[in-house]
Structure 1
Amino acid sequence: MVIFDNDGVLVDSEPISNKMLAAYLTEVGHPTSYEESLRDYMGGAMHRVHDLVLERTGQRLPDDFDEVFHERVFAAFKRDLEPMAGAMDVLEKLTAEGVPFCLASSGSHERIRVGHRKTGLDKWFDDGRIFSSQDVGRGKPAPDLFLHAAESMGVAPDKCVVVEDSPLGVQAALAAGMDVCGFTAMTPAERLRDATRLFSELRALPDLLA
């Protein structure tokens, strides 16, 4: 079974969300560049943002930080979000070949659904094949989310291949005892060096899995 990450793998959301996260952190008094947001938060759940800011500054983010951030991001997704190049082709080919797949994302269920409706990916993912960090106690880099997805789908961890574009996601997949294909379209290969294998174009994935 193939377990896809969502942001940066199926939907081209990382540039949008990280630019907005960097701007909003800066706005509330924690200057952050786009590059720093990618480095520190890409692939992680929102609690990671809160944890790192508290650890580094001793200050807590505003109580409504998540709510305001998600309102801004969802509005941007509805305007600008696109599927990753090749995503539709890959999902169609896996379906035709009878390869089971699901999605395991650090994003909330609402974030996933907003993006999928805008991009047309909702055609491929019903509720039974979408898993979010909301469903488990700990998000990536803990293995909980991937293990939860595998168990829910009735597949042993060692029969799963994860497709990830973040170091946190690669760590989580390996900790779950799964092979992981590191997607380097946006993330430097060096940062994903622990992945089982690396690839840079989504359309190459089916051949890589074979």
Structure 2
Amino acid sequence: MNNKIKNIIFDMNGTMIFDGKYHEIAWKDYAEKLAGRQMSTEEFQHHVLGHTNKDILEYLMGKGTLTEERILELTEEKEAMYREMYMEDTANFKLVDGLVAYLDKLKEQGINMNIATGSNMTNLAFYFKEFDLGRWFDITLCAYDDGTMNAKPAPDMYIRAMERIGAVPEETMVIEDGPSGIRAAAAAGAGYIVGIYGDSSRELLEETGLCDELIPDYRNM
């Protein structure tokens, strides 16, 4: 992190927690259930990671084929399945290694912090409760999938997260695990971008050509 950084925005899934396999299992199950087809891991990485549930469901079923009510219903069903599976994995149901110490250090240094996530409020509230995120973050300032923003790689999520803490983009570092999120951070003008690959693909992050730094976790931050 360079000296001009005064703010840090974290993605959530795959960045603060390594939960990707449970989202992958749930979405692959839904692809078969709703669309009657198998979803490859490559397809998951390109069309699911970093995208909103609405975009994913419309990708699977076709744009305009689902009502907003049905999208909400399917979203809640899928996310409940994901949360149940993730909580059962007691060994991995935790914040990424080194993150607690890193967040404590940033708080002591007076760095402004926020979260920009493609998760909905139900999941965000779940993470705040289970991982006590209120120690470092204000949930009312977080940017999440509320249906009003374009999904990553559009910059909307990061722009909102920055605006809510009064952050200047050039003085803001973003930590992300997905190519679409990396591109969103760059489009939002983030001054420094860190790719975290412990739960994703280092190669896909490198291919963006936009990461200033790559890390497997937070133990050396």
TM-score normalised by L of structure 1: 0.86
Q: Which residue of structure 1 aligns with residue 203 of structure 2?
A: 190
Give the number of equivalent residue pairs. 203
How far does residue 21 in structure 1 lie from its aligned partner after superposition?
Answer: 1.3
SS at match of 2:214: strand
Q: Which residue of structure 2 aligns with residue 45 of structure 1?
A: 52
Maintained 8 Å contact 1:50/1:60: no
Structure 2: state its 5+ residue gaps.
1-6
The one-letter code of the counterpart of 1:76 is: M
Maintained 8 Å contact 1:136/1:148: no
Higher fraction of helix: 1
Maintained 8 Å contact 1:109/1:132: yes
Q: Which residue of structure 2 aligns with residue 97 of structure 1?
A: 109
User: Identity of paired residues, percent?
Assistant: 23
User: Take 1:32 and 1:61, find their aligned partners in 2: how far apart are those partners?
Assistant: 20
Q: Which residue of structure 2 aligns with residue 36 of structure 1?
A: 43
**2:79 equivalent to 1:79:** no
User: Take 1:202 and 1:46, find their aligned partners in 2: how far apart are those partners?
Assistant: 28
Question: Residue 135 and residue 104 in structure 1: after superposition, are their counterparts in 2 closer, same or farther (change >3 A)?
Answer: farther
How far does residue 181 in structure 1 lie from its aligned partner after superposition?
Answer: 0.6
Pick which of 171-180 and 34-43 moved more.
Answer: 34-43
How far does residue 45 in structure 1 lie from its aligned partner after superposition?
Answer: 1.1
Maintained 8 Å contact 1:53/1:59: no
Q: Which residue of structure 2 aligns with residue 166 of structure 1?
A: 178
SS at match of 2:146: helix
CA RMSD of superposed structures (Å):
2.2
Maintained 8 Å contact 2:26/2:82: yes
2:220 corresponds to which of 201, 204, 207: 204
